[in-house]
């Protein structure tokens, strides 16, 4: 997370100023870990990741994926 936070100091997204599949991939990985461990990203610990993560969570397709993932987690009591 520290490396990602440092990278996001310079860029809005992982590969520059527009989000790409890399952002979606990393977002999904982080969301999975956070959900399964019942954790949140703290803004004071990783402010750039926090801002990026919140920005990514507003993308309609990402929201749909999040909803489906949470449904699966709840259905099978993974968390």
**pLDDT tens readout for residues 3-31:** 999 999 999 999 999 999 999 999 999 99
- Tell me, what's the pLDDT at 79? 66
Which of the four CATH numbers 3.40.50.620, 1.20.1050.10, 3.40.50.720, 3.40.50.10440 does domain 2-75 have? 1.20.1050.10
What ranges do the domains of the chain cover? Answer: 2-75
- pTM of the complete model: 0.89
Residue 27: exposure state from Cβ atoms within 10 A (0-12, 13-18, ≥19): buried
- Tell me, what's the pLDDT at 9? 96
By 3-state DSSP, what share of the chain in percent is helix, strand and coil, each rounded to 5? 65, 5, 35
Average pLDDT over residues 43-53: 96
pLDDT band at 78 (very low <50, low <70, confident <90, very high): confident
């Amino acid at each position: 997370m520290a490396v990602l936070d440092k990278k996001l100091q310079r860029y809005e997204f992982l590969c520059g100023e527009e989000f790409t599949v890399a952002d979606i991939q990393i977002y999904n990985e982080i969301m999975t870990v956070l959900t399964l461990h019942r954790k949140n990203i703290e803004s004071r610990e990783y402010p750039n990741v926090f801002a990026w993560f919140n920005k990514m969570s507003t993308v309609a397709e990402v929201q749909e994926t999040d909803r489906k993932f949470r449904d699966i987690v709840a259905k099978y009591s993974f968390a």
